Structure 1
């Protein structure tokens, strides 16, 4: 076991042994993971700064290629949901795949399973720092972005909140699933790419699905991140038609259930060397 893996296992085991509740065990594990996360400059950059930088770099694209009259959204109302979507993909999904695979290959997860932690607690505790960082990012993006871009706060903040919560659950579950098929920490830099690229192009991050032909849009609406982006974009416009919002919620909740079930069912706890 690596030095980092042994250190995390020892710290978490000591803290969790004194925790009498699931919440206490989750906090102990999350605190240990946050310590390790703070030592990884790459993960800090990719999870905290990259989503904002990439979204800002897309400003020229949004301004020149997307017609607000066709999309029904202003440039700011396009960029802010895109920033939130990028944060979910990079800070939660991409980062967690690397975290789960690295901890598994270092035998940290195997050691944690010998204690009182349940499997779901290990996965949730490992995801806790990434989730909290993402939620903080989303708050900063909404508040700061609304001021800088002059679009104001969301007209339907409850839809934005629902979109973020569903997005966190879906991305965390899919991260665990992807980690299960990833053989090494090096491979973890590549295996998230297919879902990442499909979500960017087909889930409404780069452009609203309303710009596409109806039949194609109906298919792409079924992608994991599509209902999340639909809710985020509707949050700035004041909400879509009630039927459309209900459909997005249903699809999002279905994906949440699928992601959580599949992530736990097919996660690999043993090293795949």
Structure 2
């Protein structure tokens, strides 16, 4: 009778030490990505200047519409947050993942101790931090120069930014797999940037749209971010109704569900299409 001995090393049990090591690896990757971001002037411009400039152009073009004075601030804050997430997190991350793949950086990372999730998270940290910083600065600017938002439910605002960042990170990873080069990433990101944006609910004030178009837009990837931000900042739902804290929690169920579904879709798409080395 013979016995066989497995040569596969046992997996380390999950615990505080494993979590700390994972966070340490993500931090190291994030610092390396931050240095690359600072050196890339185009990416740095897109991260820092493009969202505020887009919001300024949006405002100059009358994007707020006939919104009441007490919701102008939340609407502008909503626009800034959405632009930061789409351009800084989604677009910049898509380009970054493609660039690191073509430079064989991702392939070298896989040889080390970092898992694929840690590699993606490490690259995403600088972009998410920039988006969070812009959202905070937007809150300060709106509170100082316009009528301060009511902040009926700040938790929903946090969920919008953090949940939106996770969803768009997953979608960026998936989109990078469809992009052969950094230049082609400018085309593969267009569907989300210029097709989904009109459905995001940032044009006009709350309750400015209704009907089939509004129903369809409710289930698009960017709409949950704006719905949650508006509910949290002003307590006003898509129909223009003012809600209390408890009522905002009930109204947030649909956008939260849509956000979770799109995050799940993004993760599945990333697992299916994400490439870790150049095509041969």
Q: Give the superposition deviation at 1:151.
A: 3.0
Select which of 185, 188, 192 maps to 1:188: 185
Aligned to 1:28: 28
Aligned residue for 2:3?
none
- Give the 3-state SS of the residue equivalent to 2:125 in structure 1: helix
Change (3 A) 1:209 1:271: farther
Corresponding residue of 1:80: 77
Residue 229 (structure 1) aligns with = 226
- Structure 1 residue 199, shift from structure 2 partner: 2.7
Partner of 2:207: 210
Asked whether 1:103 is paired with 2:110, we answer no
RMSD of aligned alpha carbons: 2.1
Q: Are residue 54 (structure 1) and residue 54 (structure 2) matched?
A: yes
TM-score (norm 1): 0.86
Q: Which residue of 2 aligns with 1:244?
A: 251
Q: 1:74, CA displacement in angstroms?
A: 2.6
CA contact (8 A) 1:169 1:260 kept: no
Q: 2:268 aligns with which of 261, 266, 270?
A: 261
Q: Give 1 or 2 for the bigger CA radius of gyration.
A: 2
**Number of aligned residues:** 252
Structure with greater helix share of residues = 1
Select between 97-106 and 142-151 the one with higher mean Cα deviation. 142-151
> Which runs of structure 2 are paired with 1:77-226 in the superposition (5 Å)?
77-152=74-149, 154-207=151-204, 210-226=207-223
Please report how far the alpha carbon of residue 209 of structure 1 lies from its aligned counterpart in structure 2 after TM superposition.
7.1
CA drift at 1:154: 2.4
Separation of aligned partners in 1, 2:160 and 2:23:
24
Q: Deviations over 1:77-128 (max 9, x none)?
A: 2111011000000000010010000000001101111111111111111111
CA distance in 2, matches of 1:38, 1:67: 40
TM-score (ref. length: structure 2): 0.83
Q: Secondary structure at the match of 1:216?
A: helix
